[in-house]
A and B are shown apart, each in its own frame.
Chain A
Amino acid sequence: DAKTTQPNSMESNEEEPVHLPCNHSTISGTDYIHWYRQLPSQGPEYVIHGLTSNVNNRMASLAIAEDRKSSTLILHRATLRDAAVYYCILKNSGGSNYKLTFGKGTLLTVNP
């Protein structure tokens, strides 16, 4: 599996935007970029995914570099409920690739 690199932790203030980076220099052309987050004492939760173009949904935006070697998850206005571990995961589009490989992720702290 192609590897991702994320900062161990980041801090933000409430109601400010947060940019969570992810490097994936060995990404293949058929790898999707997925983001999940895990709130304290809960299971992981899907946030967003993309392939080449930037993506928006109700939770976040995903900005993908033109060479696809990095991406950024953007939370437009952080709330206290966004405090979680955020995982950037590459998932190949091949039908036999069933596995999500979770790294250590980025622990986001949101200050009131």
Chain B
Amino acid sequence: DAGITQSPRYKITETGRQVTLMCHQTWSHSYMFWYRQDLGHGLRLIYYSAAADITDKGEVPDGYVVSRSKTENFPLTLESATRSQTSVYFCASSDGTAGPYEQYFGPGTRLTVT
């Protein structure tokens, strides 16, 4: 089915381990985004990408790495997971950024770091 998917939907990992969250969209949208959602903070932007091989930091990028070798994929890697990275992670995509372009969000990945 067309749309934006995330995997895994749930993940439990230990402190210090590397973990990668996957995001895939089938619309060929040029822009992709990673947000995290924590109680009391709402959604905060981690990284975004304007096109393949173009990425940039958002509000809270520390501890995260992204890549975008193909337009449709935008994986997010936690290089050495910490308990403070326990959160729900949402990927989104958009056909543009100027003005009215809406963002389409995936279902989220709930990550727990023990």
Contacts and interface: CB of A to CB of B under 8 A. Distances in A.
A95 interface: yes
Contact of A100 (B100, B103, B107): B103
Nearest to B98: A95
Contact of B105 (A44, A51, A99): A44
Contacts, number: 57
Contacts of A29: none
Interface in A61-112: 91-100, 102-105
Interface stretch (B13-21, B41-49, B61-69, B79-87): B41-49
Query: For the side of the interface on B, what is the size category?
Result: 20 to 34
A95 B90 CA distance: 23
A104 B106 contact: no
Interface residues of A, number: 25
Contact of B43 (A32, A34, A44): A44
> Which 10 A-B pairs rank lowest in CB-CB distance, beginning with the nearest?
A43-B105, A93-B99, A46-B102, A102-B43, A98-B97, A95-B98, A102-B42, A43-B90, A44-B105, A32-B99
Interface of A: 30, 32, 34, 41-46, 49, 51, 91-100, 102-105
Interface of B: 31, 33, 42-43, 45, 48, 50, 58-59, 90, 92, 97-100, 102-108
